[in-house]
Structure 1
Amino acid sequence: MNDILPDQTPVWQFLESSVKSVLAAYGYTEIRMPIVEQTDLFKRSIGEVTDIVEKEMYTFDDRNGESLTLRPEGTASCVRAGEEHGLLFNQTQRLWYQGPMFRYEKPQKGRYRQFHQIGIETFGMSSADIDAEVIMLSARLWQKLGIADAVTLQLNSLGSNEARAAYKEALVSYLSARKDELDEDSQRRLSSNPLRILDSKDPQTQLLLNDAPSLVDFIDEESRVHFTELCEMLDQAGIAYELNPRLVRGLDYYCKTVFEWVTDKLGAQGTVCAGGRYDGLVKQLGGRPTPAVGFAMGVERLILLLETLSAIPEAVKQPFDLYLAAEHKGLQTQLMVLAEQLRNELPNMRIRVHCAGLKNISSKARQSGAPWVVLVRSENDSLLANLWYNSEPTYDIQVNSLSGLLQQQQA
């Protein structure tokens, strides 16, 4: 788990504000869930034999002996909240959330045991147009962030739950006869989560999969039509994609559409956003049957991609517009009052007041990153302001003219 330091938070705020503006344009509303849930919620939704539940969850008993878990993902919590508060039955919802998730994994660059996700979940819409919308929304976000050329959309259909189960049975039968040729991780997954073997990076396992039953041969007709409609909408919208018949999601609740946005700029950690349809999850958790589709994006990984591509605007890195200091201690009270007046008159300007004595004013001003530096001095009972812009002397004016001048500069 890691700290996010003051020099890093402007980039997080830039990403978060960009996401919020896109979500607002699509009519999504925010929901906030607790980070602690009953353990059974994740066992029932994610699946007891998945890696997350078996090895990665932070689970503990509270003082009443109830098993609780720090949430490893947001979808199950969102479904639980929607069902608990009557948001789902016979309704359509477009929701989004953000916050920390927790998984006990080997830490690596861009992946921590406490990590952050921004997710969207939609409920009550079964047709392919909502699948298309969530993908179009994510594509628009990549455009806004300036990383569209660095990510690729991969797309697949898992079919209905029944079709997926039939395919799983055929895959297990094929691989069981060749178990000794599988890598160790895939041998373990054969009895617990066999579809994840399709994700294996082991070359020998991939060779075996070349002759394995194909998921496309098991897709039911309804799912096939649904997927065809989705692809047609993406084609018409000009959103490029790759069909990846081996793309599966690591959680048990997915059906029909699954997708990932991947990049080759971050080494092995290539997925920056992933999601799909999970029509059976609400019923699985005790609610009425409700179609649903959504995705989650990893904030740390997106920030790493922004940094790798040098896609962070310079304005994001510059923390202050104006650094305000006084020539001597006797002017400090007047300086503080002046700062408040400027904040009233220039609400969009960020102002930092020098409050550390009279030493090192120049170096502190440089450290702030502020392009404008103002030194207030007194002369013949008048207050004057010396202005520097990017370390160059620019103006020497009356203090009462300072606000108007800065307004002109902002314009």
Structure 2
Amino acid sequence: MTDQEKNSVTPAAENTRQSEKAQKIQKINGVRGMNDLLPADAAAWAHLEHVLRDLTRAYGYEFLRTPIVEATAVFQRGIGEVTDIVEKEMYSFEDRLNGEQLTLRPEGTAAVVRSVVENNLLYEGPKRLWYTGPMFRHERPQRGRYRQFHQFGIEALGFAGPDIDAEIILMGQRLWDELGLIGVRLEINSLGQANERAEHRTALLSYFEKNHTQLDEDSQRRLLSNPLRILDSKNPVMQELIEGAPKLLDFLGAESLQHFEAVQALLKANNIPCKINPRLVRGLDYYNLTVFEWITEELGAQGTIAGGGRYDPLIERMGGKAAPACGWAMGMERVLELMKVSGSLPEPLAQCDAFVLHQGGETLTAALIVAERLRSAGIDVILFCPPDGQIASFKSQMKKADMSGATYAIIIGPDELAANEVQIKNLRTSGEQRTVSLDSVVDAIIDAIVGA
């Protein structure tokens, strides 16, 4: 466009052109069901993560982190082919570079066992491990259920007795107590061993085949592949039929019953109430013997906040030497939501301990030096930086200092700089203010924080 043409463009035409340009730039939103962690929520997440670190340390559990992406076979073999996760929910894809079949991890246990087997972690004896991180499932997003969500889990590998079953349940109860959660109840069951489940499966098949016309589409599909999963159906129309189905507890042998009774006795000795739910089967194929869930009525449809159990067959199924194992996992978003309902969320964290104010020029240089000295002493500091490049008044800066949550404002103006001094104002009391030398400002702030 020539200068003459530019000069001939009317304001209305220019506005139209700018409007058309703006319309071409579309805002890009995040993927539905994959949420941002915003600063306002950071304090709650930090508190939960701190409590979890303390909990695992108290019980002697070590941290293990697995990749977000695993070979698809890890979950097909570990979780089981006839499960909702593998059939409908996994984010799986083919690596364009080498043709590998890969999956964003939908849960943690199979990945942990893969790592344990690959790295021979049980060579020196049993292991207590914990993990945390994002998981991915293609589900319809709703309250407490997301496509990217975060799990915390513990896995105790190499322990065969009912004592470790009880210990991991006690860990869960201690966690709920530490977090101040309300309305959480424990339900437990035993899935016995493979031969006992086989007898129960035969009885289930016979029962459900006689009532084939009452099964919904999902249950009809599972009838021959995994009839035990029919018991896990949440379809209200199915509940009366499921209630009358043969119960696995009636097919358990002496050893399985003894293990289950020992777990209950240990929980009772520690004053942990629980309800036996014979329909509790969990959604994954690798469980045997003890299974359990913590359930709440406070979160609507997504009532299970954590669950797990014993999975003795899984290590051998994943290619390792046969070894017993058990564990549980919780959805961190659901727990945070229940903390909110329970009124136990922590107050938002202050952004800093001190906020440094200045008037630009040499006062900015001095302010930056003071801020760095404070940070070197372990004090969190925000230095005022004008968003528009124009120095604001001390009154305006003081409003920003107060909004930051800082306890102290450090004021360096031309008069203070000329006298080699700073003003320190306590923002969380009646506004007490004092003058100290530039050289002693770090010691003064440290003394004030220690003495507070």
Report the TM-score when normalising by structure 2: 0.85
Q: Which of 187, 190, 206 matches 2:220?
A: 187
Aligned to 2:370: 338
Aligned to 1:407: 447
The one-character-per-residue Cα deviations of 1:131-182 (angstroms, maximum 9, x if unpaired) are 11111111111121111x3311111111112212221221122012112112
Shift of 1:18: 0.8
Q: Give the Cα–Cα distance (whole angstroms) in 2 for the partners of residues 89 and 250 of structure 1.
A: 30
How many residues in Structure 1 have an aligned counterpart in Structure 2?
A: 407
1:355 and 2:385 correspond: yes
Kindly tell me: are residues 318 and 166 of structure 1, through their superposed partners in 2, closer, same or farther at Cα, counting changes over 3 Å?
farther
Q: Which amino acid aligns with 1:28?
A: Y
Q: Which of 69, 86, 96 matches 2:103?
A: 69
Kindly tell me: are residues 287 and 401 of structure 1, through their superposed partners in 2, closer, same or farther at Cα, counting changes over 3 Å?
closer
Q: Which amino acid aligns with 2:399?
A: S
Q: Which amino acid aligns with 1:320?
A: C
Q: Give the Cα–Cα distance (whole angstroms) in 1 for the partners of residues 302 and 351 of structure 2.
A: 30
Q: Which of 332, 336, 353 matches 1:303?
A: 336
1:84 and 2:109 correspond: no
Whether the aligned pair in 2 keeps the contact of 1:50 and 1:251 (CA below 8 Å) is: yes
Whether the aligned pair in 2 keeps the contact of 1:371 and 1:389 (CA below 8 Å) is: yes
Q: Give the Cα–Cα distance (whole angstroms) in 2 for the partners of residues 194 and 163 of structure 1.
A: 14
Matches within 5 A, 1:266-281: 266-281=299-314
Q: Give the Cα–Cα distance (whole angstroms) in 2 for the partners of residues 224 and 397 of structure 1.
A: 74
Aligned to 1:381: 419
Aligned to 1:153: 186
List gaps (5 residues or longer) in structure 2: 1-33
Sequence identity percentage: 46
Aligned to 1:203: 236
Shift of 1:240: 1.6
Q: Which amino acid aligns with 2:406?
A: A
Q: Give the Cα–Cα distance (whole angstroms) in 1 for the partners of residues 374 and 433 of structure 2.
A: 17
Whether the aligned pair in 1 keeps the contact of 2:408 and 2:424 (CA below 8 Å) is: no
1:55 and 2:88 correspond: yes
Q: Give the Cα–Cα distance (whole angstroms) in 1 for the partners of residues 79 and 336 of structure 2.
A: 27
Q: Which amino acid aligns with 1:407?
A: D
1:124 and 2:152 correspond: no
- Secondary structure in 2 aligned to 1:212? coil
Q: Give the Cα–Cα distance (whole angstroms) in 1 for the partners of residues 185 and 355 of structure 2.
A: 43
Instruction: Provide the aligned C-alpha RMSD in A.
Output: 1.9
1:250 and 2:322 correspond: no
- Secondary structure in 1 aligned to 2:273? coil
The one-character-per-residue Cα deviations of 1:72-130 (angstroms, maximum 9, x if unpaired) are 11111111111111112562000111111111111112221111111111111100011
Aligned to 1:259: 292
Q: Which of 379, 394, 405 matches 2:432?
A: 394
Shift of 1:409: 4.1
Kindly tell me: are residues 72 and 59 of structure 1, through their superposed partners in 2, closer, same or farther at Cα, counting changes over 3 Å?
same
Shift of 1:297: 0.9
Q: Give the Cα–Cα distance (whole angstroms) in 2 for the partners of residues 58 and 286 of structure 1.
A: 24
More moved, 272-281 vs 194-203: 194-203
Q: Give the Cα–Cα distance (whole angstroms) in 1 for the partners of residues 231 and 340 of structure 2.
A: 31
Whether the aligned pair in 1 keeps the contact of 2:232 and 2:283 (CA below 8 Å) is: no
Aligned to 1:13: 46
Q: Which runs of 4+ in 1 moved over 4 A?
A: none
Whether the aligned pair in 2 keeps the contact of 1:327 and 1:375 (CA below 8 Å) is: no
More moved, 82-91 vs 97-106: 82-91
More moved, 319-328 vs 90-99: 319-328
Whether the aligned pair in 2 keeps the contact of 1:90 and 1:124 (CA below 8 Å) is: no
- Secondary structure in 1 aligned to 2:40? coil
More moved, 372-381 vs 295-304: 372-381
List gaps (5 residues or longer) in structure 1: none
- Secondary structure in 2 aligned to 1:8? helix
The one-character-per-residue Cα deviations of 1:294-315 (angstroms, maximum 9, x if unpaired) are 111111111111122221122x
Q: Which amino acid aligns with 1:404?
A: A
Whether the aligned pair in 1 keeps the contact of 2:63 and 2:131 (CA below 8 Å) is: yes
Q: Give the Cα–Cα distance (whole angstroms) in 1 for the partners of residues 253 and 261 of structure 2.
A: 12
Kindly tell me: are residues 109 and 60 of structure 1, through their superposed partners in 2, closer, same or farther at Cα, counting changes over 3 Å?
same
Report the TM-score when normalising by structure 1: 0.93
The one-character-per-residue Cα deviations of 1:228-263 (angstroms, maximum 9, x if unpaired) are 111111111111212111111100010000011111
- Secondary structure in 1 aligned to 2:229? helix
Shift of 1:407: 2.5
Kindly tell me: are residues 89 and 224 of structure 1, through their superposed partners in 2, closer, same or farther at Cα, counting changes over 3 Å?
farther
Shift of 1:27: 0.8
The one-character-per-residue Cα deviations of 1:344-392 (angstroms, maximum 9, x if unpaired) are 34x2x43222122532413322332223333223345231214042384
| Larger Cα-atom Rg | 2
Q: Give the Cα–Cα distance (whole angstroms) in 2 for the partners of residues 237 and 170 of structure 1.
A: 36
